[in-house]
Structure 1
Amino acid sequence: MTMNILLVEDDEVDRMLFHRALKKAGAKCTVVDATDGAEALELLQSLTGSGERSGQAQNTVIVTDINMPRMNGHEFVAAVRENPDLANAVVFVYSTSATEEDRHLAYSRHVAGYLLKRGDDDALKDIGSLFDVYSRTVELPDA
């Protein structure tokens, strides 16, 4: 089964690099983009509610940046964890911030991993490989 990734990232270049890393790794993932936490929450709520898109949140992994307008990544993850329909979502943080404070806050909200954006080819290859292997080996919870 194809894993869906909701990429919550305001920087167009970072979104493009993430997509390219997955493609180069051969990852069988479908990626949907949101430019901030508020947009991502609206999308997730439409996928978990009733209607034609209901149930599409299953097999979705969330990858979020921290520093974004309107609703940053920490606020977004907090809102996901507070929503009973989304509380079990698998969330990774993908950020340039290497501060202990950001890592601690993210892990206190039960993220699956904290990935640093380094931008070099090896780091991008590792990100692509990580999600390729993850999509083939991990059983995700029902939404």
Structure 2
Amino acid sequence: MSARDAQFRDVDGATMRVRSIWLTQLSLGVSIIIISVVALGYEPELFESWLMLTGVAIVVAAAAATLVIPWARTPRWVPLIIPFADIVGIGFMSASSILPLGFFWVFPIMWIGLHFTRWALAAAVATIAASLLTEAATSTEPPEPSNCSRFCSA
């Protein structure tokens, strides 16, 4: 254990770094599971899409990995893999769904912004932008008109 981690050791033995990894990932994982269960109850056809299933599986697998991996023994950059996996999983879910699931990108962006460098944050934002551009380029549906154009005209 490094001297830096030793100074942040909690009473129960877990470092603040490990606790941060657990809390940020588990809050996203639990949120995804709750949304998935609710969506499954209201729109079961949503889970006929391989994109939705893959996205949920990636986020849940990343949440499970945070509990199993011995973070105190890993280099400081290794936890960065988890929020990037979340970004990919959320990208799959938002591409497959009529539900606006892109707001879940707040979780990995917040985690990267608080604990990693600006370059990591820029890479995360670029990954999200690439996901949105890919979704827009491959979408066969025309964009929806804004609500104002439907309801604001006299």
Q: Same fold (TM over 0.5)?
A: no
Q: Which has the higher contact order (CA 8 A, sep 6+)?
A: 1
Q: Greater share of helix residues, 1 or 2?
A: 2
Q: Greater share of strand residues, 1 or 2?
A: 1
- Is the radius of gyration larger for structure 1 or structure 2? 2
